[in-house]
Structure 1
């Protein structure tokens, strides 16, 4: 039952992403049919820098629905079930997660919170409990198999598994959903594990598609102030109340 490290890999990005979003934006403001423009976009007749500038300018106006036409697909491993429960709350996305019903957890990997890891006594107790869970899981599976529930042993024994259990998943989100995801999950108030994962995803998005994600991240970075109340603000940016009171 070893500790598992986080890994985020990009599996797929919609082909011709910049051209597609440029075409979608142009159709909103163009009298003609963008399908006639498409061959020019693919051939490079319309400069990519001009496409980038046009898309950025429209995004600054607050018009962002056309970026939904482009999606990213990530493979993620080394996150806890506690983290995956947070991720799947983002509804405009597609998820495929490793099943504890069909995949045996006989040698369960797990995630240790940093606050526990840095305290030797806490880490020792945590790891001892993980060993106890693993032992209970394997004992239950053996008992269930012996009782004739071999095909169902995993799905019943899994009830003792903790939220620390490591999981793997494939996640697909369109750019608009990703921007919202980063607004919330890159915030300092987000839970540490999902924030680290979101930061890794954002780094990939910025490298692959800077036209959209160069300003991605916590909401405060785009607004220039913290949208939280004074009670919840981390202090990195002034709150809106502080800004208005200082004017």
Structure 2
């Protein structure tokens, strides 16, 4: 029943992402049919740096709906069920999560919060409880099997599993939704675990599609001020009230 650490891996993204976004933007301002320029974009006849510059400048104007044509897919492990519940609140995305109904937690992995890990007595009590949970789950599952539940035993025994139980998830988001995700979850006010997920995803996006994500992150990073009220500001940037 080991402690698990976060792992975020890139799986896939829409092919020819930069050219696709460039073409989608151009169609909004171009009298012709962008399908006719598509072969030139793919061949490099239109310099990729020109495409990237156009996309970046258009994004800065606030026009961002064309980036929905491109999506990223990530595989994530080493997060708690508590963290996954925050992630799936982002509705414009697709998720495939490890099922506690079909996957038996015979050796439950878990996530240990850093604030608990650094206090010896808190860590000891936390790990003791994880052991108690594991024992209760295993006992209940076996009792249910013995009483004929067989493969259905998992779905009832799982009711004792904690928010700390580790889970794995495959997640796909389009680029507009990713920016929104980063605005909220890279913020210093975001919960530590989901912020770590968002930071790892952002680094991947910056590497794979810099024209779109170099300036990605918490909203304050683009605005140059904190959009929160003074009550909730972390202090990294001045609030709107202080710069107006």
Same fold (TM over 0.5): yes
1:100 and 2:106 correspond = no
Q: Secondary structure at the match of 1:58?
A: helix
Give matches, 1:57-72, under 5 Å: 57-72=57-72
Q: Report the Cα distance in structure 2 between the residues aligned to 1:60 and 1:220, rounded to whole angstroms.
A: 14
Match of 2:172 in 1: 172
Residue 187 of structure 2 aligns with which residue? Answer: 187
Shift of 1:242: 1.2
1:134 lines up with 2:134 in the alignment:
yes
For 1:182 and 1:188, how far apart are their aligned partners in 2?
11
Q: Which runs of 5+ in 1 are unaligned?
A: none
Taking only aligned residues, the RMSD between alpha carbons, in angstroms, comes to: 0.4
Aligned to 2:235: 235
Please list every run of at least 4 consecutive aligned residues from structure 1 whose deviation after the TM superposition is greater than 2 angstroms.
none
Deviation at 1:104, TM superposition (A): 0.2
The alignment's TM-score, normalised by the length of structure 1, stands at 0.98
Residue of structure 1 in register with 2:74 after alignment: 74
Q: Which runs of no fewer than 5 residues in structure 2 stay unpaired? A: none
Aligned to 2:159, the other structure's residue is in SS state helix
Partner of 2:151: 151
Q: Cα distance, 1:140 vs. partner?
A: 0.2
- Shift, 1:32, TM fit: 0.4
1:208 aligned onto 2:199: no
For residue 243 of structure 1, report the CA deviation from its aligned partner.
1.1
What TM-score results when the alignment is normalised by the length of structure 2?
Answer: 1.00
Aligned residues: 244
